Structure 1
Amino acid sequence: MSRYRPPRPKGSFYITPEGEKAMRDEVFQLWKIERPQVTSVVHEAAKNGDRSENGDYIYGKKRLREIDSRVRFLTNRLENLKVIHDKPSDQSKVFFGAWVTVEDEQGKENTYRIVGPDEFDLSQNKLSMDSPLARALLGKSIDDEVIFKTPEGERDLYIVAVSYTPPQS
């Protein structure tokens, strides 16, 4: 069986200011804090002689490659992203950065924020704008019916609320 995987389609190049800050914080954490610590461990391990059986050296070098790879990816991605600071002129419709409350057929409500693919996190109800649900929501207004496909089949949701300020918890 072949290990070839076709390249993933490029995600959208939009990001919220909060998402950009999180990515920049991750680069800082990796490059200025974690990498110097790992470099120090590798340096000390290299002094011990035989590197072929030195776990600190082997795993430290592996971690340095992982850090460098992640920093390179984040740096390149940050160069190409467009940070969306402005709210849309028509705030009654769903656009990038909106908090959208939807209701299903059973009356259960969920609130999602439409964000870029680099910052989505379903545990925090951040929905990538490239996801099927977000694509179906974009451009819709309150009381609109949204139909989108899932692996289990089509689902219907109704938009209950649209906001561009964080909901009060």
Structure 2
Amino acid sequence: MSRGFVKEDDQEETPIIPPRAPLPASVTNYVTPERMEQLLAERTALERQRQLDKDMDEQQRRRELAVIDGKFALLQERIASARILQSKEQNQDEIRFGAHVTLNMNKQQQVFQIVGVDEADVAQKKLAYTAPMAVAITGKKVGETVAFKLGRENRTIKIIKIHYT
């Protein structure tokens, strides 16, 4: 049937499902144990959201279910691909996944934790292990200095302290 014979009210827009943080191709999806718990809690919450109000308008219900199902599918992919790394299993003398790192960059001391892609949040001082700065300092030990280029600016990063929780 031609689209010309369909009522405008019958045409539904495809819902936009917000993407998860991008995980580079062929990169392992490392997560902290805490993040895995959060992902599983998020899945439980989405399962609860599927039980939508039965009195809801059918078109609205279909739209909301499509968004929930889309989010659920993306979440399931992340959970299925997740590989939990325990901090205590890391080499405690060098920067690895899960490390809390105190560093001096441009004469300012900063503390970051190296975490998974979904958990990264610069405002909370959590840096994805795939981020350029995390890649530059991974494997380094206390006292080492790393040259790091940020845009056009060259920075020197000195590792002050490494600890795991």
Q: Same fold (TM over 0.5)?
A: yes
Q: How far apart are 1:133 and its partner, in Å?
A: 0.4
Confirm whether residue 147 of structure 1 aligns to residue 147 of structure 2: yes
2:98 is matched with 97
Count of matched residue pairs: 143
RMSD between aligned residues: 2.0
Query: 1:27 aligns to what?
Result: 43
Residues 127-146 of structure 1: pairs in structure 2 closer than 5 A: 127-146=127-146
- CA distance in structure 2 between the partners assigned to 1:95 and 1:143 by the alignment: 16
* Aligned 1:70-109 pairs, distance under 5 A: 70-88=71-89, 90-105=91-106, 107-109=107-109
Deviations 1:42-87 (A, max 9, x none): x3134xxxxxxxxxx5444322211111111111211111111252
Where structure 1 has 5 or more consecutive residues not aligned to the other structure, the ranges are 1-6, 47-56
Secondary structure in structure 1 of the residue aligned to 2:55: helix
CA distance in 2, matches of 1:27, 1:82: 17
Residues 103 and 86 of structure 1: is their aligned pair in 2 closer, same or farther, counting only changes over 3 Å?
Answer: closer
Does 1:9 pair with 2:24? yes
Whichever residue aligns with residue 56 of structure 2, its letter is A
- Are the aligned partners of 2:87 and 2:99 in contact in 1 as well (CA < 8 Å)? no
Q: In 1, distance between residues paired with 2:59 and 2:90? A: 55
Aligned to 1:49: none
Which letter maps to 2:105?
D
Distance (Å, rounded) in 2 between the aligned partners of 1:124 and 1:89? 22
1:134 is matched by which residue type in structure 2? A
Identity %, equivalent residues: 29
Q: Which residue of 2 aligns with 1:45?
A: 56
> Please, what TM-score do these two structures have when normalized by structure 1?
0.76
